[in-house]
Every structure is written in C-alpha cells, then in structure tokens.
Chains A and B, each alone.
Chain A
Amino acid sequence: AAGVIQSPRHLIKEKRETATLKCYPIPRHDTVYWYQQGPGQDPQFLISFYEKMQSDKGSIPDRFSAQQFSDYHSELNMSSLELGDSALYFCASSPRGSGRALDEQYFGPGTRLTVT
C-alpha cells in the first residue's frame, strides 16, 4: 500500500539559509499535517491543511510558511534558518473529507534537517 512520501530525507543547511520540505500524502487523502520533533523532544504540531486550505495552526514560527497544492501535496518553506530549527519534520495525511474524520493520521518517514 502507498504511504506518505517526504523529501528530502536528509537536509543540511547553514544558518540564515532557506529550506523547502515536501510531503506527498497517501492517494485520496485530502488532509496534511506537519509536525516538528526536536532532539529528545516529543513531536509538536506546526500546521495542517484540508482541501488546500489552512485548517489549523500551532507553534509555527513566522519564518515558516506552508501550503497545499491542487494535487494535495504540501510544502513547508523555512527561511532565515536558525540552529534551533534542527529537528525531524514529519508529515502525516488522513482522509478527513471522506467523512471518516476519526481516522488515524498516517505518518511519513520524516525529513531530518540539520542547521549548521
């Protein structure tokens, strides 16, 4: 079965650079969630999209932006990177629009971002 795809899997950037993380949800899933997991920490919700519209927003810095495209893939854009942005970034998808809003979120393998 198809899973959530994230690219790249690893990314190394320098301070003040920009980074773009991509997420391709499971086919027919219309909802995408982004989570950030810092070293030794639990995953924290950043932002979500449902049917290409922002659905909810968590503790996402103003330097970060995200969107969901017509094919339902999503991109997380991160600018003016800081050392503290080094983390594992997870994307998850779910078929919320199917009416089965209680379904689980399916997680991708994550993108490990290292800022030097």
Chain B
Amino acid sequence: KQEVTQIPAALSVPEGENLVLNCSFTDSAIYNLQWFRQDPGKGLTSLLLIQSSQREQTSGRLNASLDKSSGRSTLYIAASQPGDSATYLCAVMDSSYKLIFGSGTRLLVRP
C-alpha cells in the first residue's frame, strides 16, 4: 500500500529565506507526483506536476525534484515571502490513477 510522508510537519521561517520541503513515498510505481498549496479552509492549488520520467520542474520561485528510485521529492522555495504561508501537500498518482496525499507541511513565513 502506497504511503506518502511529508517532513517537516510544520515550518516557520523569516521572510527571504530559501527553504526545502520533503516528501517521500513507499512504492516507486507512480505515474506522477504533484505539489499543491492549500490555504486554510480553501481548495487545492496545483503548483507543480512532475511526470515519473522527469527529474524536476520549475515555476517561478518554485523548483520540485523527483527521485523515483529512492521514493523522494523535494519542493524548493526561493526567497520566501509572507504570502507563501500555507499548507503544502505532496501527492503521488498510483497505478489506478488516484492521488495519494501526504499530510502536508504547514509553512509560516514571518515578515
């Protein structure tokens, strides 16, 4: 059974810092991996999608990497801003096309 783990569960950093969020999964047989952002009580905003054949994707200040063989992904956020404060969720698409989510990392960027 696929399990997705995110570390750390919570993170508080001063504005301007670069930071890394970690995601690990137990079964490397995935189709893709997505990183989402979720504000409190709100919906899911897709940030980056990495296909299983890819190693990284970039969008603005965000960079996500994927090492499928070791079951790991990282989300790198450069020059963090208070507006980046949210919960970041990692999800993998399994062999039946459903997404399995991690428990998320709650990020607080302090002004």
Q: Mark A residues whose CB is within 8 Å of B.
A: 31, 33, 35, 41-45, 48, 55-56, 58, 88, 90, 92, 94, 96, 101-102, 104-110, 112
Contacts and interface: CB of A to CB of B under 8 A. Distances in A.
Nearest to B46: A104
Interface of B: 31-32, 34, 36, 41-44, 46, 49, 51-52, 89, 91, 93, 96-104
Given A42-B103, A102-B31, A58 B44 contact: no
B104 A56 contact: no
Q: Is chain A's binding surface mostly helix, strand, loop or mixed?
A: strand
Contact of B32 (A48, A56, A104, A112): A104
Nearest to B49: A104
Contacts of A90: 43-44
B44 to A, nearest CB: 5
B101 A33 contact: no
A58 B94 CA distance: 13
A42 B43 contact: no
Contacts, number: 62
A58 B46 contact: no
Contact of A110 (B43, B89, B98, B103): B43
Nearest to A33: B98
Given A104-B32, A104-B34, A55 B46 contact: no
Contacts of B104: 42
A26 B31 CA distance: 21
6 contacts: A35-B99, A48-B98, A88-B41, A104-B46, A107-B44, A109-B43
B88 to A, nearest CB: 11
B97 to A, nearest CB: 6
B98 A56 contact: yes
A106 B44 CA distance: 9
Nearest to B91: A43
* Among B44, B93, B96, B101, residue most surrounded by chain A Cβ atoms (within 10 Å): B44
